[in-house]
């Protein structure tokens, strides 16, 4: 299992405190973040893209996680997305949920090629442009 970098874990803990997540739930929120980043690394999804959540949620469902557990995972990852700027923070921290999109629309996004950087986080590899083919007149 992947270890979340201390800097990310610390920043996440700060967010949990600001959002008044009860102390007894914080360990689970950290667990969901760790599982999500591990899933994205294993299956080559970009963790900073909200489109990566749908396959993760499907995996949780296939593994028999309850709706309450999956909802808690959604809240944890929504907090992570706000930290990395993937979704904008609302004016009130009580609304920690992912944007409502249909599962089909989330699947349309192709995962970006990824590699590990020095911090252990996932970064996107820049795309190489394809050569232009000659056109016939």
What single string gives the DSSP state of each residue in 61-121?
Answer: HHTT--HHHHHHHHHHHHHHHHHHTSSPPPSSTT--------HHHHHTSPPPPEEE-TTS-
Higher pLDDT, 118 or 42: 42
Reported as a single tens digit per residue, the pLDDT across 64-82 is 999 999 999 999 999 999 9
Q: Which pLDDT does position 78 carry in this prediction?
A: 96
pTM: 0.65
Return d(Cα 13, Cα 62) in angstroms, integer. Answer: 28
Q: What is the pLDDT of residues 78-132, one digit of tens each?
A: 999 999 987 776 644 545 555 444 343 344 343 444 444 433 444 444 444 444 5
* Dihedrals phi, psi of 124, to nearest 5 degrees: -85, 135
More confident site: 121 or 2:
2
Instruction: Collapse the DSSP code of 124 into the 3-class scheme (helix H, G, I; strand E, B; otherwise coil) and give the result.
Output: strand
């Amino acid at each position: 299992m992947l270890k979340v970098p201390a800097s990310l874990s610390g920043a996440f803990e700060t967010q949990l405190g600001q959002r008044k997540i009860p102390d007894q739930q914080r360990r689970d929120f950290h667990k969901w973040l760790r599982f999500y980043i591990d899933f994205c690394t294993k299956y080559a999804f970009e963790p900073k893209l909200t489109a990566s959540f749908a396959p993760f949620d499907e995996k949780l469902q296939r593994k028999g996680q309850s709706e309450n557990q999956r909802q808690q995972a959604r809240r944890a990852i929504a907090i992570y997305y706000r930290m990395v700027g993937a979704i904008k923070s609302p004016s009130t921290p009580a609304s920690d949920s992912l944007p409502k999109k249909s599962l089909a629309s989330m699947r349309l996004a192709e995962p970006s090629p990824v590699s590990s950087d020095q911090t252990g986080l996932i970064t996107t590899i820049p795309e190489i442009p394809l050569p232009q083919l000659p056109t016939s007149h």
